Amino acid sequence: MSIWEACHALEKGSRAWSISDHFHGADCLMRHAMNIATEFENWACVHVCFESSTEVWPYFLHENFGSVLLEIVTVGGLMDFDTHDCLRVALRLGCHIYYSDALPLPLCLEVLNPSLGERFEKVRIEVVHLSLDGRSYSPITADHIIASPRPLLPIYGIYGVDSNGLLEHMADRSTYVQARSLVLRLFPSLGFAEELTPFQGNLESMATSTRK
């Protein structure tokens, strides 16, 4: 119903756009709305941490899902809605999302190095992605994910941080578990968490969310 209402509101507010032009009638729109709702609900049951939310899920979706969906996916793109779009919408909705190897979520963790005399004061694990030109790496942020129509390939970079805050790249891994395992072999005294707390998107500002 949220998608249905958002599309009708869009049609009402625009003389140049109509549901019939894009969906060949209201029945077609409802079929796509049902498909999207089913896809998102199944995705959310696996990836969203409902225990961390204070919202009543059905009411929250009814009030917000349709309008947020149309902010992120063009009306013409609703027919191609997929699991990456589920992540984009969930981040924009501010959902708490479990970290998993299947999702490119922002992450920036730093742990103090208690060993005196070491060259690094801290060690960082940060999720980055390769730029389009293939020449540089940038941290993955919620804004990047929401704006990207294609999934980003997450790389878990390991960095040493010196007393001046300068980073030295040490290694890359494809998952957090692998990155943590390597860090603990190199620095056994560091206390990187075995499990990550769910990442929270931001409904109000779409601001980048990182944790240290």
Helix (H), strand (E), coil (C) string for 44-60: HHHHECHHHCCCCHHHH
The most confident of 9-18, 56-65, 188-197, by mean pLDDT: 56-65
Q: Global pTM?
A: 0.85
**Mean pLDDT of the chain, nearest integer:** 87
Please report the pLDDT score of residue 15 as a whole number: 63
CA 39/CA 3 separation, integer angstroms: 13
pLDDT of residue 20 exceeding 50: yes
Q: How confident is the model at residue 84 (pLDDT cuts 50, 70, 90)?
A: very high
CA 105/CA 180 separation, integer angstroms: 16
3-state secondary structure of 156: strand
Quick count: other Cβ atoms within 10 Å of Cβ 130? Answer: 13
CA 137/CA 131 separation, integer angstroms: 6
CA 190/CA 188 separation, integer angstroms: 6
Encode pLDDT of 21-64 as tens digits.
777 777 888 888 999 999 999 999 999 999 998 889 999 999 99
Please report the pLDDT score of residue 19 as a whole number: 72
Q: Percentage of the chain with pLDDT > 90?
A: 56
